[in-house]
Amino acid sequence: MVSDENDSPAIGRVCAELLQSRPRVINVGLAVFAIDLDAQDVDVVHVDWRPPAGGDEDLARLLSMLAD
Amino acid sequence: MVDTAALAPAIRRANSKALEILLQGDPVLIDVVPAKDLIPELKEHTILHAGPPIEWDRMCGPMRGAVAGVAVFEGWARDLDEAGVQASKGCFDFHPNHHFSAVGPMTGLTTCSQPLLVVENRAAGNRAYCTVNEGLGKVMRFGGNDESVRDRLAWIRDSLGPALGSALQCCGGIPLRPLVARGLTMGDEMHQRNVACSSLLLRELAPALASAVADHSDLSEMLAFMGSNDQFFLNIAMAMGKSIMDPVRNIEQSTVVTAMTRNGTDFGIRISGLGDEWFTAPVEMPAGLYFPGFSAADANPDMGDSTIVETIGLGGFAMAAAPAVAGFVGAGSVAEAAGITARMREITLGEHPEWTIVSENYQGVPTGIDIRLVVETGIVPTINTGIAHREPGIGQVGAGVVKAPMACFEKALRALGERLGIS
């Protein structure tokens, strides 16, 4: 959330650095995006993540009450 | 009003207790006894089978073939045709092995005159039973039912079973926990590879067997039978698994799986917090390799109580310990075998302190399947299995790997939610 004007210069520097340097990507979910980036010699780390309970909202709600 | 904040800590405590009982299991093979002397309910015309409950009209081909064969073997029918007619008329009472402290591989039929291996869990004081392994190929557990199959069963009943019983009584029983630990370091996973454990068992049992059997020719035949059967230990591992998991049942709020089993039509699981209720879904087809002359078109869907070994953390869960079996069951490379064990760690609560995997720096096998983790991650148990021909009377046609159906775990989770008042 950008609400403090004092943060703007710092954020601007980060954005500029992002745009001027080679991208380093954390890919979450579908592996195919990571594979494509890797094929283009982009630094990429893949996180094997999927929605809890395969996206079933009822089961996910149940899990949220039962899980640690 | 349900205090939802208290649920997770309560489940954690229940599962901790379940895991403690599981890991303390101290199974000892103590005897071989006729089934009717161990299970009083096992009367004439009563047949125990693998998997969750099923009746004749829904049984798969090899299960029907085995039913016909065992009815002739027990003298309830003159031939296979008459046995089939009797079965279709409801002349036999069918019940799951699991309802009687027993398990059986593949079709898993248990009847009154068959000798059963007895494993005692000395930590909990309970006992569990399993038939004696018949060998490979055309055997009753794979649906074989001809005269050669029945003759072998009669020899096990009349000669091998009593001799094994005498030998075990003579030597005071064989502790299985250290034997399995050693077998794991020698490349067994105790489901589709039992070469090491079968050999270790024979080494321990042979002297007592020699004392128990007076006739050298009989002794030679028994030693040859056991020595030539790489899977002889499987049935012992199964009775061991049942003896370990039964005391884990009925722990209120526990989400630990206490049984996984299949009857060739349905796959069923039980969880500790919901007692003896079955949660079922259609079985899946194994993916595997086939003996010469057979293909996937011949295969019967997944079958047997042998998934009790995966339930305690062996079989597919210990695939990393048994690279030799990965190729046999078509599971892929050694790295892929290790990957299967790694995935099973994501759905289990602990590791066995003594059953370790050398290639994983002596990390324990993953054990204590938690249905919450299965549903959350989408990772289902991987099972190593034999494959039966889908027609009665033929027998084993291959071996492979199969997945437990996710629907069983989802049903169990929903039922637990209802029990806890949060559905």
How many structural domains comprise chain B? 2
How far is the C-alpha of B105 from the C-alpha of B267, rounded, in Å? 14
Same domain as B277, residue B224: no
- Whether residue B4 lies inside any domain: the answer is no
Write down the pLDDT at residue A22. Answer: 87
Q: What is the CATH number of the domain that holds B262?
A: 3.90.1700.10
Using a cut of 0.90, tell me whether the model's pTM lies above it. Answer: yes
Q: What is the pLDDT of residues B173-196, one digit of tens each?
A: 999 999 999 999 999 999 999 999
Q: Tell whether A55 lies on the interface with B, counting CB pairs under 8 A.
A: no
B256 and A CB contact within 8 Å: no
The minimum CA-CA distance between B348 and chain A, rounded to whole Å, is 14
Interface list for B 363-402 with A (CB within 8 A): 372, 375-378
* pLDDT tens digits for range B2-23: 888 889 999 999 999 999 999 9
Is residue B106 situated within a structural domain? yes
- On whether residue B83 sits in a domain, the answer given is yes
Per the structure, the complete domain to which residue B185 belongs is given by: 26-238
Residue B222 domain flag = yes
- Are both B221 and B256 inside the same structural domain? no
| Residue B180 and residue B43 share a domain | yes
Q: C-alpha angle B304/B309/B311, rounded to 5°?
A: 100
Exposure letters B56-70 (e unless 16+ CB within 10 A, then b): beebbbbbbbbbbbb
The last residue of a domain, from among B181, B213, B238 = B238
Which chain A residue has the Cα nearest residue B410? A59
The per-residue pLDDT for range A1-60, each reduced to its tens digit, is 445 555 678 888 888 888 888 888 999 999 999 999 999 999 999 998 888 899 999 999
Whole-number pLDDT of residue B330: 74
On chain B, the residues whose CB falls within 8 A of the CB of A66 are 7-8, 11, 255, 372, 413, 416-417, 420, 422
Q: Is B243 contained in some domain?
A: no
Contact list, A68 vs chain B (CB under 8 Å): 8, 11-12
Q: Within a domain: residue B105?
A: yes
ipTM of the complex: 0.84
- Specify the number of domains making up chain A: 1
Alpha-carbon gap: B377 to the closest alpha carbon of chain A (Å): 6
Q: Do residue B108 and residue B179 come from a single domain?
A: yes
Question: Helix or strand or coil: residue B315?
Answer: helix
With contact defined as beta carbons under 8 Å apart, do B304 and B50 qualify?
A: yes
Question: Does residue A3 form part of some domain?
Answer: no
Could you tell me if B61 and B151 lie in one domain? Answer: yes
**Would residue A12 count as lying in a domain?**
no
Tell me: do B231 and B254 sit in the same domain. no
| A35 part of a folded domain | yes
What's chain B's average pLDDT?
96
pLDDT for res A2: 45
pLDDT band per the 50, 70, 90 thresholds, residue B288: confident
**Is residue B165 domain-resident?**
yes
Question: What pLDDT sits at residue B334?
Answer: 87
Determine what percent of chain A falls in helix, strand and coil, rounding each to the nearest 5. Answer: 55, 15, 30
Task: Answer for the pair B222, B155: CB distance below 8 angstroms, yes or no.
Answer: no
Residues B299, B188 share a domain: no
pLDDT of residue A6: 58
Does residue B131 sit in the same domain as residue B264? Answer: no
Q: Is the residue at A68 inside a domain?
A: yes
Digit-coded pLDDT (tens) for B106-125: 999 999 999 999 999 999 99
**Same domain (yes/no): B298, B180:** no
Q: Are residues B73 and B50 in the same domain?
A: yes
Q: What is the CATH number of the domain that holds B41?
A: 3.90.1710.10
Q: Which domain holds residue A55?
A: 24-68
- The 3-state DSSP class for residue B120 equals strand
Share of chain B above pLDDT 70, in %: 100
Q: Would you say residue B244 lies in a domain?
A: no
B138 and B227 in one domain?
A: yes
Cα–Cα distance between B134 and B226 in angstroms, integer? 9
Examine the domain organization and report whether B298 and B226 are in the same domain: no
Tell me what pLDDT residue A48 has: 86
Which of B177, B180, B169 shows the shortest CA–CA distance to B121? B177
What is the model's pLDDT at position A4? Answer: 53
- pLDDT, one tens digit per residue, over B248-276 is 999 999 999 999 999 999 999 999 999 99
- Residues in chain A closer than 8 A to B376 (CB atoms): 52-53, 63, 67
- Pick the closest to residue B109 from B298, B384, B297, B388 (CA basis): B388
Within 8 A of B1 by CB-CB distance, chain A residues are none
CB B310 within 8 A of CB B340: no
Average pLDDT (B195-218) is 97
- Domain final position from B209, B238, B267: B238
Identify which has the larger pLDDT, B408 or A68. B408
In the 8-state DSSP scheme, what is residue B96? E
Interchain CB distance below 8 Å, A59 and B414:
yes
**Quick one: pLDDT at residue A10?**
86
